[in-house]
Amino acid sequence: MSRRSRRPGGAEVHAEFFIDRGYLRLEGFHPQKRMTAIRRTLLDEFKRLSGERGMPRALHGLPVFQQIGKLSSLVKYPGLHEALMTRELVDEVTRLAGRAPTAIQGAQLLLSPPQQGSWTLENLNWHVDVKARPADRLPGIQAFFLIDDVATHGGATLALAGSHRVGQRATAAASLREALRTPVDLERKLQALGMTMVEMAGRAGDVFLMDMRLLHTPSVNATKHMRMMATSRCLLDG
């Protein structure tokens, strides 16, 4: 449900879904005009850095996921945080969390060069950015912004919906670790554990809000288009 089509009771439905699955997608949260302006600047910067080579020299020879960090650090967009982490979005985070963030980290670009190789679930870097103490306490909400349309297998961040509950169940945690080590038929194994894999693909302007206890990972961009996303973390008090 987009913020523009929210029905009465929508906020409660959002909160219930977020508590259960650990994420929420806000479709069309940011207007296309805003995303278009950011996207044009980023593409111009990418072309400037690439020249005639098609790829910035600094990315040559780097492993796939290191390319993301390097490219994201090379391209700059002044005012990115103010454009994306709006008061309205902070209010949405506050509603979901039940309390206001105590700190909001500046927005960072998440850029993947095109055609990184074949899309795969092998050798991914599943992780959490913060440890929740205690495990049942929400430590923060991370926002992922789609600056451009991101297609399936287009390098979107992946997250395991429902994995925020694993810390409270030792047996499930062991089963999940085993499933991620040998990701053949991974989605069926996740379903058996009460989890699903979320690929944060969608349209420019969409925002994904994620419980920071969810396991997540970058993925391979197998498309011909640069993946343009950004992220910001809203941290909550202990």
CATH of the domain at 69: 2.60.120.620
Range ranked top by mean pLDDT from 4-13, 43-52, 141-150: 141-150
pLDDT 10s digits, 152-181:
999 999 999 999 988 666 788 889 999 998
Residue 174 resides in a domain: yes
Hey, what are 45's tokens? 């910067």
Hey, what are 81's tokens? 């945080």
Structural domain including 59 reads 17-235
- Count of structural domains within the chain: 1
- Residue 172: the pLDDT is 82
Residue 127 resides in a domain: yes
Mean pLDDT in residue range 209-216:
97
Residue 3 resides in a domain: no
| CA dist list (Å): 94 to 70, 103, 104, 236 | 32, 12, 12, 10
Residue 1 resides in a domain: no
Strands 103-104, 216-217: parallel, antiparallel or unpaired by DSSP? unpaired
Q: Is the pLDDT of residue 17 over 90?
A: yes
**Whole-number Å distance between alpha carbons of 161 and 190:** 9
Hey, what are 238's tokens? 């202990």
- Residue 168: the pLDDT is 61
Residue 10 resides in a domain: no
Residue 6 resides in a domain: no
**Whole-number Å distance between alpha carbons of 196 and 23:** 11
Residue 129 resides in a domain: yes
Residue 212 resides in a domain: yes
- Residue 8: the pLDDT is 39
144 touches 231 (CB < 8 A): yes
pLDDT band per the 50, 70, 90 thresholds, residue 55: confident
Where does 6-99 have alpha helices with state H?
Answer: 10-21, 32-50, 64-74, 80-84, 87-97
Q: Is the pLDDT of residue 132 over 80?
A: no
Q: Is the pLDDT of residue 3 over 50?
A: no
What does pTM read for this prediction?
0.92
